[in-house]
Chain A
Amino acid sequence: MSLLNSFIKQSPWIYHVHAGGCLGCDIEIVALMSPRYDLERLGVKFVASPRCADILLVTGPVPLHTKPFLERVYAQTPEPKRVIAVGACGCSCGIFIDNENYSIAGPVEKIIPVDVKIPGCPPKPETIIDGILKVMRKFDS
């Protein structure tokens, strides 16, 4: 099994889940495929359907009405899979954290298991690349 997992490390396909953030993180994620940071060097591909994905990149604090969709996307991703929570929102709800906030179900960790958290509001593309590399290496264990 570990041999096969090492092939996932060589071609991780990423599905980007937007779960109610402010789009700040999402713009930084788009920058990952730009000429400057180009993640395709490592064989990473951004796919349009969770059914082909190996890694879920979740941004945002997960509002109540997005929660069922996030669960469904997680269930639709075939095993073995890993989840990255991006941004302060993904890690801990960020600026949306408040005891009186009635509309937030998150952070992501409460809903689906998270393997790597990338802090920052928004995190720099370099940081996101570092997080993706960490999760790629995690496929070994």
Chain B
Amino acid sequence: MIDAAWLNPVIAFSIGILLSFKLRKISARVQSRRGPLIWLPDRWHDINRSKVLQPLYDIIKLFSKQTIIPSTATPFFIAGPILALMCAVLATLFVPVAGISFDYSFSLVVLFYLLMGEILFIIMGGISSASLFSAIGGVREIDLMLANEIPFILGTFALAITFDTLSIQQMMGFNILINPFAALAVLLSIIVKLHIKPFDIPEADTEIVNGLTTEYGGKLLGVLETARIIMVFVLIALFVDLFLWIPSSGALAWVIFLAGVIATGVLIGFMNSLFARFRIDQATRWLFKIPLLVSVLAIGWAVLWRYVL
């Protein structure tokens, strides 16, 4: 019998597309624009009828275009996005979708390395294009990653301390009540990982073109977009699983899971459109101050409840 968890990448991709559409729509509505239309008027029917799948159209279009590889690029330029996509797809197998995933007693650690690997491979690919903009984007990305990995790991390990396990399935629950500090720390680091404003510094298109993806076009950019869409889903689903999950099964599990994903997605969408961009020094300083403090509090809280009280 084939494990249902093999379907996770497909589910991740489809829900990720709808989530990306939602993010675009929210940021448009906040700016009092309309964003991609859900129903197009009659006179544009020859172009399209509905734009709900806009991120999917973008990806298919990118795959149908010519790929230009700069003469200065090394082979890592091609390997980077593909490895990043592999990391993202593998990560979906370990994030429970409505309670279904591969689970080992150490799956949280595997997930850490896959999430980190995805970012590292994108940095590797971008930097090997020998473009200055990519180099600046890469440096910014590494800065953010160094400052951001600590709150993320401390926040999730606070739960590991509470439940005395490293398996994601066993620590799932409505833990936002058990450890609110951990929830805050993980939410903040998810925002940084997804490059939601105010942390879209590595791809700030008004300053450094597209950052790491400046030299990418055509099919390789399509691969990167796919990886990004899967990452949007993986990180949001991870947050829902760890902090907003109510144990259940069958159709009810799907309802709870999707409600959590939509709520977190809308929250992140509003953050994206309400803030302006940090400078890189402000962002690192802020990350070393507030999320770090919150995550240390989360660890203290967990230890307190487990060993003292």
User: A: which residues have CB within 8 A of B?
Assistant: 4-5, 7-11, 13, 33-35, 38, 40-43, 45, 47-49, 51-52, 54, 76, 78-80, 133, 136-137
Contacts and interface: CB of A to CB of B under 8 A. Distances in A.
Interface centre among A9, A40, A136 (most CB of B within 10 A): A40
B57 interface: yes
B225 to A, nearest CB: 10
Contact of B47 (A10, A35, A47, A79): A10
Contacts of A43: 36, 48, 51, 54, 57-58
B17 to A, nearest CB: 13
Contacts of A10: 47-48, 54, 57, 61
Majority DSSP secondary structure for residues of B touching A: loop
Contacts of B64: 4-5, 7-8
A40 B36 contact: yes
Contacts of B33: 33-35, 38, 40
Contacts of A54: 61, 65
B307 interface: no
Interface stretch (B141-149, B166-174, B207-215, B279-287): B207-215
A48 B209 CA distance: 5
Given A35-B32, A42-B47, A11 B210 contact: no
Contact of A9 (B24, B47, B68, B215): B47
A51 B47 CA distance: 24
A48 B206 contact: yes
A51 B214 contact: yes
B37 interface: yes
Contacts of B164: none
Contacts, number: 101
Contacts of A41: 34-37, 40, 51
B60 A78 contact: no
A33 to B, nearest CB: 8
A79 B221 contact: no
Interface of B: 24, 28, 31-37, 40, 44, 46-48, 51, 54, 57-58, 60-62, 64-68, 205-206, 209-210, 213-218, 221
Contacts of B213: 49, 52
Contacts of A48: 205-206, 209-210
B206 A78 contact: no
A59 to B, nearest CB: 19
A111 B133 CA distance: 27
A40 B35 contact: yes
B67 A11 contact: no
Nearest to A79: B66
B129 to A, nearest CB: 10
B68 A7 contact: no
Given A8-B61, A78-B68, A51 B217 contact: yes
Nearest to B215: A51
Contact of B57 (A7, A35, A40, A133): A7
A5 B66 CA distance: 12
Given A43-B48, A52-B217, A78 B57 contact: no
Given A51-B217, A137-B46, A35 B31 contact: yes
A8 B46 CA distance: 13
Contacts of A35: 31-33
A-B residue pairs, 8 tightest by C-beta: A51-B217, A4-B64, A48-B205, A78-B66, A38-B33, A10-B57, A79-B66, A11-B57
A49 B214 contact: yes
